């Protein structure tokens, strides 16, 4: 089990601050939760707490980006994606500015605070914005890689971060699709932390003689269809999983890409249906909305019939 994604991201921010003098971090009075406080302690003159004012924070970051800085805006995903949408669109994306939008507590990970704090529409919103790249890491190592990658970009990047510690996936040199389990019978494409449950599901399926291939797919935009296409050419079946509403999310990205490429296969998707979620312990809450090893295995079995 790796350290929590937010801890890894905070530590990486502080580490990269030493080698990237242009890096500045802006916070909306939640740095103890997002762990950006680690950067603030190391570089107090490059850390700005603007208070509970996400839209204002985004505009400040945009202004700093025009002056040669590379800002990281770190706050809860739900409030960045919704309260600051207008500013992200008009000041950052329209001007294609190098601002990193780090959305903490993504998906259902702010589980006990309920629907008002659970970010289940952010991927759909962010991927619809021109010039915005979207990355949803699956574990702490991918979160660190996402930040390193984003600092090389000359335009905006949205990184959706999770609150909790998740099991480590097979390592890769850079952020991108990773084959976590090899198989020939069904492809399971998992976005974000759902990859860990997909790996568990593959082990369950193996007991029934079904060899599932699990791909962790953190980069939603720009989307690289090739790894999935290669896997599906072998298996003929695809199950997508995401911690997000199905409308406009990861499964939608995959479906659009497959249609454009003329790729056909047996298909299913697990995500949150057209509903608001509720409060509760994180993993039982995920399971209620279908994100569990058992449900993933059952849906994969159905595809294989």
- At 258-304, the pLDDT tens digits run 999 999 999 999 999 999 999 999 999 999 999 999 999 999 999 99
pLDDT level of residue 165 (50, 70, 90 thresholds): confident
Confidence at residue 166, expressed as pLDDT on a 0 to 100 scale: 86
pLDDT of residue 207: 97
Q: Mean of the pLDDT values across residues 176-199?
A: 97
The whole-number pLDDT of residue 62 equals 98
* 128-134: average pLDDT: 98
Domains located in the chain, CATH noted? 5-160 (3.40.50.970), 178-304 (3.40.50.920)
Please tell me the distance from the alpha carbon of residue 294 to that of residue 305, in angstroms, as a whole number. Answer: 17
- pLDDT greater at residue 172 or residue 65: 65
pLDDT in tens, 199-231: 999 999 999 999 999 999 999 999 999 999 999
**How far apart (Å, rounded) are the C-alpha atoms in residues 239 and 20?**
40
pTM of the model: 0.97
- pLDDT tens figures, 235-246: 999 999 999 999
State both tokens at 260.
């454009």
User: 253 or 170, which is more confident?
Assistant: 253
Q: Is the pLDDT of residue 2 over 80?
A: no
pLDDT at 64 over 90: yes
Confidence of residue 1 (pLDDT cuts 50, 70, 90): low
Instruction: Tell me how far apart the alpha carbons of residues 64 and 290 are, in angstroms, rounded to a whole number.
Output: 42
What's the rounded Cα separation, in Å, for the pair 255 and 268?
10
Sole residue written with tokens 């990184």: 159
pLDDT for residue 171: 85
- In whole numbers, what is the pLDDT of the chain averaged over residues? 96
């Amino acid at each position: 089990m790796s350290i929590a994604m937010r801890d890894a991201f905070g530590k990486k921010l502080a580490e990269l601050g030493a080698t990237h003098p242009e890096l500045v971090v802006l916070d909306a009075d939640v740095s103890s939760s997002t762990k950006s406080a680690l950067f603030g302690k190391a570089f107090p003159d490059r850390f700005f707490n603007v208070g509970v004012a996400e839209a204002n924070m985004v505009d400040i970051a945009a202004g700093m980006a025009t002056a040669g800085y590379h800002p990281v805006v770190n706050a809860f995903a739900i409030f960045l994606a919704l309260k600051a949408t207008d500013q992200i669109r008009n000041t950052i994306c329209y001007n294609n500015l190098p601002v990193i939008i780090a959305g903490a507590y993504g998906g259902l990970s702010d589980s006990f605070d309920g629907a008002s704090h659970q970010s289940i529409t952010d991927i759909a919103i962010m991927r619809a914005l021109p010039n915005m790249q979207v990355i949803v890491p699956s574990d702490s190592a991918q979160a660190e890689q996402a930040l390193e990658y984003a600092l090389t970009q000359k335009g905006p990047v949205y990184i959706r971060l999770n609150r909790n510690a998740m099991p480590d996936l097979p390592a890769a040199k850079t952020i991108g699709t990773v084959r976590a389990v090899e198989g020939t019978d069904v492809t399971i494409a998992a976005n974000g932390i759902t990859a860990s449950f997909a790996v568990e599901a593959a082990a369950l399926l193996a007991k029934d003689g079904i060899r599932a291939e699990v791909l962790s797919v953190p980069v939603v935009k720009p989307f690289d269809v090739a790894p999935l296409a290669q896997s599906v050419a072998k298996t003929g079946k695809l199950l997508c999983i995401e911690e997000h509403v199905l409308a406009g999310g990861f499964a939608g990205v995959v479906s659009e890409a497959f249609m454009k490429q003329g790729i056909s296969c047996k298909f299913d998707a697990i995500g949150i249906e057209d509903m608001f979620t509720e409060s509760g312990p994180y993993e039982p809450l995920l399971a209620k909305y279908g994100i569990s090893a058992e449900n993933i295995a059952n849906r994969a079995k159905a595809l294989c019939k």
